[in-house]
Each structure stands twice: as structure tokens, then as C-alpha cells.
Amino acid sequence: MPTAFGSVGTMHIAQVTGVPLSLTGRTALITGGSRGIGASAVRLFHQAGARVAFSYQSAADQANALAAECGGPELCLPIQQSLNSIEDGQALVAATIAAFGKLDCLIVNHGIWPSHDAPIASMTSDQWRGTIGTNLDSVFGLVQSAVAQMQSQHRSPGGPRGHIILVASTAAQRGEAFHADYAASKGALVAFTKSLSSELAATGIYCNCVAPGWVDTEMSAAALHHPETSKQVLSLIPLGRAAQPDEIAGPILFLCTPLAGFISGEIFNVNGGAVLVG
């Protein structure tokens, strides 16, 4: 069925008329941008007119192909960067500023979800530290450096100084048995969002959180394509299916546009209604 964004699951910002979704003149950094939700966000932000830097860890071919699709490194710059520590996050922001000279939108999309069940009584300390390092410590480094840069930039009268979007999960709000490390790290992002908004909104930096449910990406493919697991997962989603990456990237883009000019500190649930019934 056609929508204002084109066909379902494939949004085309250029087709929207009379709606201020333009990010022309803005610079965005999107972490985990080579595939899944991140790659969809890279495409949408590029279509909306932003210059985009995005990080990837090992998928160099995918990252380079995406950058070429979106106009090449002057408009869309792939940056290879592990995100396991505070210092890694700081280094990625520094590389973005070195390339583009400013930063207006930080989209923290990267993260790991160990797919095996790990009962808390036997979860290893290495797994716990690894998940927290990637999903939380690196986020602190990214946000700290991005806020410092945004605060140093000129702000147009009445305009935003910057946008920060943290991508959490429904697991942040209702927990996830046998994945306590993941749920704890994402729950921290919810609290981090609220703290940042309380601290930064008055300075013109908007901080919000997008909380997806199940999304059909490489990270979730094993679970969603397993007959028994998929049946269980989908039974808890009122819409009866997992999201497509574009359906998460769209709300992320929206929160960085003038249409979201009075939204800060919010947890934007994008889960097909699952958080209400799980």
C-alpha cells in the first residue's frame, strides 16, 4: 500500500512534499551504520540533505558500497572504529569533526546482543564486561565528546544546537530473561536519555531515545528464522511481524527534524505494540 514515504518499508524523503523533514546543512554521525537499522538511517539522513559520517567495525565492503551509494566520502564518510570503550567513542567523534568540521546529530545505534541464553548464575564476567563496554561505556565517550562539540558551535536564534538519539530496546523497559547484560545496558540508556535531557534541553541540545522491538536484521536473523523461536517472538507482537530497518530509521530521522521541536527526554517506542503485552 502506498504511503507518504513511498511503498511500505522503503521510505523516500524526496517524495514528501510540504513537510519540513530537511536536514540540509546539518552533519550527522551514525554508529553501526554499515547494515541494519544504521544503514537505513544513513540513507534517510543523506536523502534529507545531511552530510553523514558512520562507523563500522569489520564490514568494509558493505560500508564502502553504502558510502558510494550516498554520494561518496565528501557527503557520506565511512569510519572504521571499534566501539568497546569510552576512548573508542571519543575517537569516533574526533574523526567526524576532523572530516566535517562540526556535528549536529549524534545517532547512537551500535550495540551487541549475545544470542545465546546466559543464566545469570553462570554468565561470565567477560560477557558482562563486553556487553557493557560496547553498549554503555562507548556511548558515554560518544555523548561526552559530541556534547562538548555541540556546545561550542554557533546556534541560530531559536534553533537547535544539536540532537542526540540513543537507540535502546524494549528489553530496557521490561527486561529480558537470560540476557540480563543486554537489558541492563539498554535500560541504562533510557536513564541516560532522561538525565541528558534534563541537563541539556535548556541549552538547545535535544536528547531522545528510540526503543525498537524485534527488527529483521543480521543480528536477529538466527532467532527470527528459527521456526520455534520465531513463532514465540511473533506471538508477542500485536502487529504480528518484526519491524523492517526503515521503520526504525524513520522515527530516528523525525526526532532530528523541526517537526520534533518540542520533544526532549522521551522514549519513543517502535515495537508494534509489543512492550504493552510482553
| pLDDT, mean of residues 71-82 | 97
**Separation of alpha carbons 77 and 66, rounded Å:** 9
Domain 20-276: top CATH class: alpha beta
pTM of the model: 0.88
Q: What is the pLDDT of residues 134-176, one digit of tens each?
A: 999 999 999 999 999 999 997 877 778 999 999 999 889 888 8
User: Is the predicted pLDDT of residue 4 greater than 50, yes or no?
Assistant: no
pLDDT of residue 242: 80
Please state, rounded to an integer, the average pLDDT across all residues of the chain: 89
Q: Is 182 a catalytic residue?
A: yes
Lowest mean pLDDT among 57-61, 87-91, 273-277: 273-277
Q: Which of 45, 100, 113, 182 is catalytic?
A: 182
Q: Over the chain, what HEC string results? A: CCECCECCCCCCHHHCCCCCCCCCCCEEEECCCCCHHHHHHHHHHHHCCCEEEEEECCCHHHHHHHHHHCCCCCCEEEEECCCCCHHHHHHHHHHHHHHHCCCCEEEECCCCCCCCCCCCCCCCHHHHHHHHHHHHHHHHHHHHHHHHHHHHCCCCCCCCCEEEEEECCCHHHHCCCCCHHHHHHHHHHHHHHHHHHHHHHHHCEEEEEEEECCECCCCCHHHHCCHHHHHHHHHCCCCCCCECHHHHHHHHHHCCCHHHCCCCCCEEEECCCHHHCC
pLDDT of 177-233, one tens digit each? 999 999 999 999 999 999 999 999 999 999 999 999 878 777 766 676 777 777 777
Map out the domains of the chain as residue ranges: 20-276
Distances from the Cα of 256 to the Cαs of 20, 26, 184, 253, in angstroms?
A: 11, 10, 26, 5
Indicate if the pLDDT at residue 241 is higher than 90. Answer: no
- What whole-number percentage of the chain has pLDDT above 90? 71
Output 228 or 70, whichever has higher pLDDT: 70
Residue 10 pLDDT: 47
Quote the pLDDT of residue 18: 66
